[in-house]
Amino acid sequence: MNKYKIGYTTGVYDLFHIGHLNILKKSKGLCEHLIVGVTTDELVKYKNKKAVIPFTERKEIIESIRFVDEVVVQSNMDKMSAWHELQFDVIFVGSDWKGTSKWNKFEEDFKEVGVDIVYFDYTKSTSSTKLREVLEKIRNYDVTKK
């Protein structure tokens, strides 16, 4: 029996990699029903970036993963609003957010409504940022070779 009934996690899931898969797999291992919010292209701008893979394709990738029970659109960063709509009892997030003022506030807010926050270790070996840097180097290399 899983520890939690409904779990929730969100992400951009651009340039999908093993770190993304690990958080989804670990999350599903702790809950009966895993809801995953996929960030819209418009919201990705909060990272001062543009998604390489369009939203509809990123959403389809996440929908096809066996650890995911439900996919929802994440069009804002308001996690409490998501809780009011989805009624999850745990939220899963990467450890790179732990201790930030934003997530310290979420911890306070979620504690009041009985929602746990589980932080999973950030995958240091692979990240979308690192993949993006490699792609940029390849692109720049190709431009200088022409």
Six-digit token string for 122? 């950030």
Strand (E) positions, the chain?
Answer: 4-11, 31-39, 70-74, 90-94, 116-120
The whole-number average pLDDT for the span 79-103 is: 95
Q: How far apart, in Å, are the Cα atoms of 110 and each of 70, 79, 88, 97, 100?
A: 21, 9, 10, 15, 15
Mean per-residue pLDDT, 92-117: 94
Q: State yes or no: is 47 an active-site residue.
A: yes
CA dist 77 and 70 (Å) reads 19
Specify the higher pLDDT residue, 66 or 122: 66
pLDDT confidence of residue 144: 58
Strands annotated E in 40-89: 70-74
Q: Is the CATH code 3.40.960.10 the one for domain 4-145?
A: no
Say which of 47, 102, 105, 137 is annotated catalytic: 47
Whole-number percent of the chain with pLDDT over 70: 82
Q: Does the pLDDT at position 46 exceed 80?
A: no
Query: Strand, coil or helix: what is 126?
Result: coil
Q: What is the pLDDT of residue 146?
A: 55
Binned at pLDDT 50, 70 and 90, residue 24 comes out as: very high
pLDDT at 143: 52
Site of tokens 């029903």: 33
Query: 49, 102, 105, 111: which is the annotated catalytic residue?
Result: 49
- Tell which wins on pLDDT, 122 or 140: 122
Q: Which two tokens stand for residue 25?
A: 């797999």
| pLDDT-derived band at 15, boundaries 50, 70, 90 | confident
Neighbouring residues of 2: CB distance < 8 A, sequence distance ≥ 6: 29, 30, 31, 32
| 3-class secondary-structure state, position 103 | helix
- Specify the amino acid at residue 12: V
pLDDT at 128 over 70: no
Q: What pLDDT sits at residue 138?
A: 61
